[in-house]
Amino acid sequence: MEKSRRIVIIGAGVFGLGTALTLKEQGYTSVTVLDRSMPPVPDGSSNDISRIIRFDYGDAVYARIAKEAFDLWKTEDYSDAFYETPAIWLTQDAVPDQPIQPRAQDYSRKTRDVLTQMGQEWHTLKTLDEARTRFPELDKNMNIPGFDAFYNTNAGWADAGRAISRLASRCAAAGVSFITGPSGQVTDFEKNPDNTIRSVMTASGTQVLGDSFICAAGAWTASLVPAWNSMLAAGQVVGYLRLTSEETARLKNMPIWFNFSTGFFCFPPHEGSGYLKAAVHGFGYTQQNEKAAVSSPSPSAVASRANFVPPDGERRLLAGMKDIFPELAKRGFERTGLCWYNDTPTGDFILDYHPEHQNLFIATGGSGHAFKFLPVIGKYIVGSFDRSLPQELLNKWKFPTQYRDQRQDDVFAGDGSRGGPERRELSASERADFNAALAASSRQSKI
């Protein structure tokens, strides 16, 4: 592929920035990134105070690539945003009012099998007493029926906002161009007679010409390109509980806690903000965009995530927090939010050319697990873009067309790592509350 081609990237998250930097490192001379906001994009899934960094996977391909990325997180280019800490992965029995994922034990077993095949250590925790002895930061009053777990000392978390800021700075230093605001908010494509893309149209009414276009717009992708039931924007609940300085110090060395059965997970304290962050890796909530006939987050630029989750989502967050820190759970969350995944039917990324547009490459489908690949994701996206990857990977990340005429509920089963209840659409009143919270966050940013 000619290195002088004008490459336009839509989206300034992990996928977009990783691609942009790798393209410049490989000698491409014209690389432009468009987004509604300068990265870290406030409501993008790449932006937050923490993301899990691990290679505990039930899929050998992702485990291998995640281990490659994990080793790089400890190097100079990434280490100032990375905090190494053990991670506990558990399953449990069902309890009233807390749905669990029946495939959780299978996924946990597959994950341990993959680690063993890789020659990586993992450690069994057979009882809660063993867990408390190994990790004394965990509450002595934990009560989790059917507790079964393992932990890995080769894990950690990244300050996502800081990591993205550093990556964006490296892109700018490498010569990547950025267009943001209304002139960077892509609304449509202008097509040539042969159905190739000539330019993107933006909210300001301007157009940006290019030779190759890479759509890396995360949960907004399906509202821009024909997705054919290959991806689905789903909001996942996140909560932030305020700690005192003494509590932050006491819990500093706690492990990451991830419950495959319920989807609940919790990070060590974030010292910069004083928050203990918890979330649910579940099937989430959809928000149908009638114009695009797909689920999507808010199309407008925002200053921060809206302080809103549906009531049943907050109850799941509190239930998970009660499992490990009952006293802290009584305090409740200072703020909450929806993190928008772009899910695919199998949880695999989509790194391939769109079937209808030969110069439109799709780089998306993070499915709630892509951030950890930040140090290497650009290499794999560009390898798919120029078709230099092994055929095994090109096949794994091929744009899926086989789900086009199937029911959505029959398609998005995931990879077995999700927990909690089935996905559902936000109600009319919940959408109104969500939109009001978005407006409030926008007003607050102007004060």
**Per-residue model confidence as pLDDT tens digits over 378-415:** 999 999 999 999 999 999 999 999 999 898 878 998 99
Query: Which residue range(s) make up the domain with 89?
Result: 6-445
Strand partners, 232: 343
Q: What are the structure tokens assigned to 270, written together?
A: 């974030």
Asked if 137 and 247 touch (Cβ cutoff 8 Å), the reply is: no
pLDDT in tens, the chain (447 residues): 799 999 999 999 999 999 999 999 999 999 999 999 999 999 999 999 999 999 999 999 999 999 999 999 999 999 999 999 999 999 999 988 788 888 999 999 999 999 999 999 999 999 999 999 999 999 998 999 999 999 999 999 999 999 999 999 999 999 999 999 999 999 999 999 999 999 999 999 999 999 999 999 999 999 999 999 999 999 999 999 999 999 999 999 999 999 999 999 999 999 999 999 999 999 999 999 877 779 999 888 888 899 999 999 999 999 999 999 999 999 999 999 999 999 999 999 999 999 999 999 999 999 999 999 999 999 999 999 999 999 999 999 999 999 998 988 789 989 999 999 999 999 999 999 999 999 887 766 554
For the record, the structure tokens of 131 come out as 């867990």
> Does residue 427 fall inside a structural domain?
yes
**Is 270 part of any domain?**
yes
Q: For residue 155, tell me if it sits in a domain.
A: yes
Note whether residue 1 is domain-resident: no
- Check if the beta carbon of residue 441 is closer than 8 Å to that of residue 302: yes
Question: Is residue 423 a contact partner of residue 280, using CB atoms and an 8 Å limit?
Answer: no
DSSP 85-108: --EEEEE---BTTB---TTHHHHH
Q: Give the integer Cα–Cα distance in Å for 304 and 446.
A: 12
> Cβ atoms within 10 A of the Cβ of 291, count?
9
In a domain, 404, yes or no: yes
pLDDT at 447: 43
Other residues' Cβ atoms within 10 Å of the Cβ of residue 402 = 11
**Pairing label, strands 186-191, 197-202:** antiparallel
Give the CATH number of the domain where residue 248 resides: 3.50.50.60
Quote the number of domains for the chain.
1
In the three-class reduction of DSSP (H, G, I as helix; E, B as strand; rest coil), residue 63 is classed as: helix
Q: Tell me, what's the pLDDT at 443?
A: 65
| Angle formed at CA 80 by CA 337 and CA 373, multiple of 5 degrees | 65
Closest listed residue to residue 280, CA positions, set 329, 306, 317: 317
Q: Which helix (H) or strand (E) holds 350?
A: strand 350-353
pTM for the model stands at: 0.96
- Give me the helix-helix angle, 104-117 and 60-73, nearest 10°: 70
Q: Is 286 within a domain?
A: yes
Q: What is the pLDDT of residue 445?
A: 52
Domain presence at residue 66? yes
What is the distance between the alpha carbons of residues 277 and 334, in angstroms, rounded to a whole number?
A: 10
Q: Does 290 reside within a domain? A: yes
Query: What pLDDT was estimated at residue 271?
Result: 94
Q: Which residue has the tokens 């114009």?
A: 291
Number of neighbouring beta carbons within 10 Å of residue 203 = 17
